[in-house]
A = this chain, B = another copy of it.
Amino acid sequence: VTASSTASFTMDHERAGRYTVRIVPEALNRPELDAVLDGRRSLVVVSPTVERLYAPALDALAARNGPRMRRIVCVSGEPAKGLAAVERICDAALAAGMDRHGVFVAVGGGVCSDLVTMAASLVRRGVRCVRIPTTLVAQIDAAIGAKGAVNFAGRKSSLGCFHPPALVLADPVLLRTLPLPEIRAGLAEIIKIALVSDAPLFELLERVVPELLATRFQEPADDATTVMAASIRRMLEALDGNLFEDRSYRRTVDAGHTFSPKLEAAARFTIRHGEAVAVDLALSATLAARLGFLATGTSERIRRLIATAGLPITSDDLTAELCRDALAEAVRHRGGRLNLPLFDAVGHARFVDTSQVVDQVLELALEDLRLPLAEDQRVGVS
């Protein structure tokens, strides 16, 4: 990853070539976008919400590009993220005469990004895809990596692809219309990336999260951009060298994603992904403290930031049994028991052997989650 400014990052990958992620205003009206389109046949795929809220900007984009550009609205919502939705997009692309030089433009959240990435990987064995993510999670996480996926045969994201984008334009202005739970979900992933890799980001979040949440990342504008840029940079750094997940099972970005999948399943998806990640991070903090390598005060500080972001730090569904199941699953999926990502200080990841998480430690860590947090206490800063 190289940063060409405070808000522009370029990923160089031996297999994937190069792509740029930029934080820009007016993402739908940018020379970088026009440079990729450049007279080629294109299909703009938007979520229903984007079509409703941003039709004028989309129409202006269409007017600039003429009949070579077409636009369709894709489905929204995780349950609709299936192969049928991908087929509809492919069908529209081929009906529009898309050839191997064609370009997809995905404007929407994670579902839109996943579906369009899948379609772009399949049409003519792979065409370019520009992503203009419109949710905070997509802007700092889901839409800046190489992955696309659909749910299949009742299994979440069980079919998918690695198909890196040609360009990602993250526009903070688009967040002003986002529902608050979506802002919170993004904050959960931002807190995660700060915990494993960026102490100054964590400290900035402690200061500005209430205002960022209240203003949906519009104010303070400089801090909002700093938070987004740091999150994007750290995420790209974490992906770099392992973009196709074929080099290492030690992925710091898996932090917060050990217990959360089981928690989501146990709650039958009534808990949001971001909320489950928040609970997972809180448990990871108390676990790290009970394992003896994270200061108790730091663990409390982490839980306090999560709570300040309006996110949960525990759940009735979070039982010891669920946690043991999740750890067993992690062993299977992360190439062995040595690859549990935790943190031994704010901003620093450590990989732990799951067999260290004995029943007594787990149960104490779960109890810690139920303790009330002191109101305004900052002790044991690591």
Contact = CB atoms under 8 A, between A and B. Distances in A.
Nearest to A152: B90
A126 B162 contact: yes
A317 to B, nearest CB: 25
Nearest to A245: B125
Interface in A70-95: 83, 87, 90-91, 94-95
Interface stretch (A1-9, A135-143, A153-161, A285-293): A153-161
B125 A162 contact: yes
B152 A125 contact: no
7 contacts: A14-B15, A87-B152, A94-B152, A94-B158, A99-B333, A125-B160, A126-B162
Contact of A161 (B14, B126, B147, B158): B126
Given A95-B153, A125-B149, A90 B14 contact: no
A197 B62 CA distance: 47
A121 B118 CA distance: 11
B147 A125 contact: yes
A160 B245 CA distance: 21
A100 to B, nearest CB: 7
Contact of A124 (B83, B123, B160): B160
A157 to B, nearest CB: 8
Contacts of A245: 125
Contact of A159 (B123, B149, B162): B123
A161 B91 contact: no
A14 B90 CA distance: 29
Interface in A193-224: none
A153 B90 contact: yes
Interface residues of A, number: 29
Interface in A212-264: 245
Contacts of A155: 94
A94 B160 contact: no
A122 interface: yes
A332 interface: yes
B123 A158 contact: yes
Nearest to A87: B83
B125 A161 contact: yes
Interface string A156-173: 001111100000000000
Contacts of A90: 152-153, 158-159
A61 B280 CA distance: 44
Contacts of A161: 121-122, 125-126, 161
B14 A124 contact: no
Interface in A93-136: 94-95, 99-100, 121-126
A126 B159 CA distance: 9
A151 B94 CA distance: 12
Interface centre among A147, A159, A333 (most CB of B within 10 A): A159
Contacts of A153: 90-91, 94-95
Interface string A308-348: 00000000000000000000000011000000000000000
A158 B333 CA distance: 33
A142 to B, nearest CB: 14
Contacts of A99: 332-333
